Structure 1
Amino acid sequence: VDGPNASHITPTALDRWSNRLEDLFAGRPYDMYDAALSDTASNFPVDMQPFKDMIEGMRMDLRKSRYKNFDELYLYCYYVAGTVGLMSVPVMGIAPDSKASAESVYSAALALGIANQLTNILRDVGEDSRRGRVYLPQDELAHAGLSDDDVFEGRVTDKWRTFMKGQITRARMFFDEAEKGIYELNSASRWPVLASLLLY
């Protein structure tokens, strides 16, 4: 949990968001922001679960600052970013002439969220370390002969470069997976998604 409003994101605030989520999906928005989402939910086949999962990701961020392995990190990335892809597909729409399964389009959207979050993590290693957080898989750091101390002290060594190249390669694999689904979206939705993939 970071950003300018991080200090306001507390377990109590997340409980409140969770309750408001239930209300707005039931057509009882609290404010204009809720009203916008409530309107979206009433006009598109948006599922509430990814929104709940995103809140769970914020809860995870409040109690966890290390990830033992990539499985743990993947789950975090799903909660805080993969969910965005799942939220977006119903609004963007699948092209009427698409021969792809809905499942494959949603999988590609999920992959884009994961890729973006992995990129955030790699970009923000220094910033996160100053907040006492390491979002890199602990087992992979150890396998590379690295530790949290290397992260906190900003040691850029050959071992670090090799480790980071591996992390970048994995993020690119998710971007490659995401790209497969872009051309299955409605034509008006493709360019914004492609731009996010290319520019991230």
Structure 2
Amino acid sequence: MTIAQAYAHAEGITRTEARNFYYGIRLLPPAKRKGLCALYALARRIDDIGDDDAPLAQKTAALAAVRKQLSDIDASADPVLVAVADTARRYPVPLEAFEELIDGVEMDLSGATYETFDDLRVYCRCVAGSIGRLCLSIFGTGTDPRAPLYADQLGIALQQTNILRDIREDLLLGRVYLPTAELAERGVRLQLDAQGALDDPDARLASYIEFAAARAEHWYELGLRLVPELDQRSSACCAAMAGIYHHLLVRIRANPTQVYDRRLSLPALEKGRVALTALGRAVLPV
């Protein structure tokens, strides 16, 4: 397989699987778009291993195999790894961020729960802050030495949005990411009613979600400091990707019950509007 074919393979995965991110990725110029698609494709593979229905031992072995491949990535003939290796030659890709992502997936496999938000933040940094730092290697860091911190914070904001959106779906899988001490303090019990929706007879869960969404909003404020540091097209990409998740958070905060019986998502037209708005703000003179 040629390098061009490897990139095409990775971009096909991204176009198919990155239902939210691809709205932003396609705003990048071709070279950066190819590189970010390569990084996404590998991150998606790692994430899919954790979500697979395979036995635990098989998933653990698969993650170990990816770790080994990363240690000698230039020797791989796998198309995704070929594309990632070439991207790492062209951009300052922190390949160790993939190791952090694997660490986060292994937390899921171990059935980890999180007592405090500080505990949860460690997990969010592994599974999403790592993605922020990988994206930054393609975007370029600008002049602010705190850019990697901003990318990390923006990833943590997005992951908090995912967690609030997927409370019911995760509970069905036996996973609880919300900090247990916070739930106990507010008298929240995560359980399903007879129809399979989140049960919240006294609105304590809704109150908690509003609180957690407000905290996530603060992390967006921190992370979005990255956007002005990027070139115009990278800024548009970053703003579009973050904007779609931020719109989800705004909806959840306004009406937490929307996540009780479904997986909330934005219509395609609204995602498109977010991407176009981000592009317009990036390329038009202020």
How high is the TM-score relative to the length of structure 2?
Answer: 0.63
- Tell me, which stretches of 5 or more residues in structure 1 are unaligned? none
How many Å separate the matches in 2 of 1:111 and 1:2? 23
* 1:16 corresponding residue in structure 2: 65
* 1:118 corresponding residue in structure 2: 160
| Secondary structure, counterpart of 1:183 in structure 2 | helix
* 2:23 corresponding residue in structure 1: none
* 2:261 corresponding residue in structure 1: none
Q: Is the 8 A contact 2:49 2:59 kept in 1?
A: no
* 2:214 corresponding residue in structure 1: 169
- Tell me, which stretches of 5 or more residues in structure 2 are unaligned? 1-46, 246-286
Matched, 1:33 2:75: no
| Secondary structure, counterpart of 2:72 in structure 1 | helix
* 2:122 corresponding residue in structure 1: 75
Q: Which amino acid aligns with 2:199?
A: R
How many Å separate the matches in 1 of 2:141 and 2:209? 35
Q: Which amino acid aligns with 2:131?
A: V
1:147-186 map, 5 Å = 147-149=189-191, 154-156=198-200, 157-186=202-231
Q: What's the RMSD between the two structures over aligned residues?
A: 2.1
Matched, 1:130 2:172: yes
C-alpha deviation, 1:112, in angstroms? 1.1
C-alpha deviation, 1:115, in angstroms? 0.7
Identity %: 31
* 1:109 corresponding residue in structure 2: 151
Q: Is the 8 A contact 1:84 1:113 kept in 2?
A: yes
C-alpha deviation, 1:193, in angstroms? 0.5
Q: Structure 1, residues 23-80: CA drift from partner, whole Å, max 9, x if none? A: 11xx212311100000011111112221111111111110024211112111111111
Closer, same or farther in 2 for the Cα pair 1:2/1:144, shift >3 Å?
farther
Q: More deviation in 42-51 or 143-152?
A: 143-152
C-alpha deviation, 1:139, in angstroms? 0.2
Q: Which amino acid aligns with 1:117?
A: Q
Closer, same or farther in 2 for the Cα pair 1:168/1:75, shift >3 Å?
same
Q: Is the 8 A contact 1:47 1:87 kept in 2?
A: yes
Closer, same or farther in 2 for the Cα pair 1:109/1:2, shift >3 Å?
same
C-alpha deviation, 1:149, in angstroms? 3.9
How many Å separate the matches in 1 of 2:115 and 2:48? 21
How many Å separate the matches in 2 of 1:37 and 1:158? 46
Runs (4 or more) in structure 1 with deviation over 2 Å come to: 1-5, 147-153
C-alpha deviation, 1:155, in angstroms? 1.8
Matched, 1:87 2:134: yes
What is the count of residue pairs matched by the alignment? 193
Q: Which amino acid aligns with 2:59?
A: T
* 1:7 corresponding residue in structure 2: 53
How many Å separate the matches in 2 of 1:66 and 1:2? 20
| Secondary structure, counterpart of 2:206 in structure 1 | helix
Q: More deviation in 184-193 or 62-71?
A: 62-71
* 2:279 corresponding residue in structure 1: none
Closer, same or farther in 2 for the Cα pair 1:169/1:47, shift >3 Å?
same
How many Å separate the matches in 1 of 2:244 and 2:49? 21
